[in-house]
Amino acid sequence: MFQSEEEFLAPRSSVLAELWTFIELAIPTILVNLGMIASPMLCASFIGRKFDTVYLSGFALANLTGNLCTFSLLAGLFSASDTLGPQAFGNGNFKEVGLIAIRGLACATAILLPINIFLVNYLDNVLLALGQDRDAVELAVAWYRIFVWSFPFCVVYNVIWKFLSAQNIMRPMIVVSLASYGIILPLGLEFLSERYGFLGSAWAYVNFQAIQAISLLAYIAVKQPHDHRTWPGMSSWRQAILAHKPMMDFAGLGIGGILAQCEWVFWECAALVIGLLGTIPLSVHTIPSQVLMLLWLPPLSAGTALSIRMGITMTHSVKMTKKLILSATVLIVLAGAVINTIVYRHARPIIQLFTNDPEVLVTAEKMWWKMCTFSQLCSLFGALCGIATGLGMQWTLASINLVWLWVFGLPNLYYFTIIREGGLEAAWTCINLP
């Protein structure tokens, strides 16, 4: 399944061969992304089954804050690595791959550090000003102040991931990720929550992220699976950061990528609006939103793999790249249709993984078809995001998202959900429209 460097860089003679190479990269990318998406889903499932509804609402507020102010920023910023890293590797500019990794580390630190210092001190004031339930806010703030310690490890993990994926080195990512969210996180949730209660789940999350990043660093230090020409060492930080044009190119694409992630920001703002309806609607919303994050993973990951493969293929043949884009997009949409049909037909057992509350269960079932519809739309959108990233069109994607989500989407959501008192039903209708 994993190709050598020569095989990865070699041009393909047919679109089927190129599509197969894309699939070989997409599958491990999906598995790696699974850890990032499944981890909050596991936390939500554990908290929803073990604690009262208000605790799930508290977790939802803390998690959406992390998504809004950290994870969405990381995803957007490192889209620059998805664009520039494979292009540098495909052109034989191997040292630049490592310099791009250092730039990503520097930019991520500069962006996230001040934001999270502010949130640790003032998150309660922000959430209360937004009209959230006071009990849920108190739980969210306590959870977030522990959760924030996972972010340095998350940054390191993302830097390594993008550095290795540009070289088609995915095996260490898969092994470490599967072990971390398949074993470490569930065990941590069970034992730490038993000792520390609700906040034990936050410590379990930090522990999971730390072990994941440290294990990956240790593997690379010992096995050195990467091309030695791609890592100039941290001593090259001046060359990476102080080189004006390359740094500005990375920052420009990264900022565009962050703005392009405004659909993620929109999603978290939608949760804040729904939180105004009370703890029960927010708890209901948390279930399809967590499942949706998991369903969003395959097309998003496939889009990332497509952008990486585009960076390689365009150095050899623009015509083949166009064929790859078309065939990969069709494949992603069809796969999404199959997955969403299965999820729709098994709504009740999936919802029961998150809650035992009869009211939450019944209401979530009513919303389920809307969630599956939105998920299918995301299948196409994931492919389009990958194409835009591969072409370095983060700013174009950002402009489109900003107009449709913020000029039309969020105002309509607030108007029909809160002012017109349409409730959760209206909220999910508005979520689907943009």
How far is CA 372 from each of CA 86, 278, 343, 376, 378, rounded to the nearest angstrom?
33, 24, 7, 6, 10
- Position 200 scores a pLDDT of 94
- In this prediction, residue 1 carries a pLDDT of 45
Judged against a pLDDT cut of 80, whether residue 128 lies above it is answered with yes
For range 407-420, the mean pLDDT: 89
Dihedral over Cα of 46, 49, 51, 54: its sign:
positive
Give the pTM.
Answer: 0.77
Average per-residue pLDDT for the chain: 87
Q: Is the pLDDT of residue 9 over 80?
A: no
Is the model's pLDDT at 396 over the cut of 60? yes
Mean pLDDT of 85-92: 86
Q: Please tell me the distance from the alpha carbon of residue 314 to that of residue 182, in angstroms, as a whole number.
A: 37
Among 20-24, 140-144, 151-155, 242-246, the least confident range? 20-24
**Residue 245 to residue 413: CA distance in whole angstroms:** 41
Sign for the pseudo-dihedral over CA of 65, 67, 68, 74: positive
State yes or no: pLDDT of 205 exceeds 60: yes
Q: Return the pLDDT at 68.
A: 81
Instruction: Report the candidate in 155, 120, 170 with the shortest Cα–Cα distance to residue 140.
Output: 120
Question: Is the confidence at residue 138, as pLDDT, over 80?
Answer: yes
Averaged pLDDT for residues 325-336: 93
**What integer is the mean pLDDT of 392-409?**
85
- Region 88-94: what's the mean pLDDT? 87
pLDDT of residue 331: 94
- Give the contacts of 295 (CB within 8 A, at least 6 positions apart): 336, 339, 340, 343, 375, 378
Q: Residue 264 above 80 pLDDT?
A: no
Residue 145 has what pLDDT?
96
Q: Which residue has the higher pLDDT, 109 or 354?
A: 109
Mean pLDDT of all residues in 195-202: 92
- Do the beta carbons of residue 315 and residue 91 sit within 8 Å? yes
CA distance 395 to 249: 12
Whether 5 has a pLDDT exceeding 80, the answer reads no
Of 335 and 401, the one with more pLDDT: 335
pLDDT of amino acid 12: 52
- Report residue 92's pLDDT band, with 50, 70 and 90 as the boundaries: confident
Higher pLDDT, 315 or 354: 354
- pLDDT value, residue 434: 59
pLDDT, tens digit, for every residue of 416-430?
Answer: 999 998 888 888 888
Query: Is residue 8 pLDDT above 80, yes or no?
Result: no
Question: What is Dmax (Cα atoms) for the chain?
Answer: 61
pLDDT tens per residue across span 208-261:
999 999 999 999 989 999 999 999 999 999 999 999 999 999 999 999 988 887
Using alpha carbons, list the distances in angstroms from residue 221 to 151, 175, 224, 225, 352: 22, 16, 6, 9, 43
Those residues whose C-beta lies under 8 Å from the C-beta of residue 43, and which sit 6 or more positions away, are 59, 63, 185, 189, 201, 204, 205
The amino acid occupying position 267 is: W
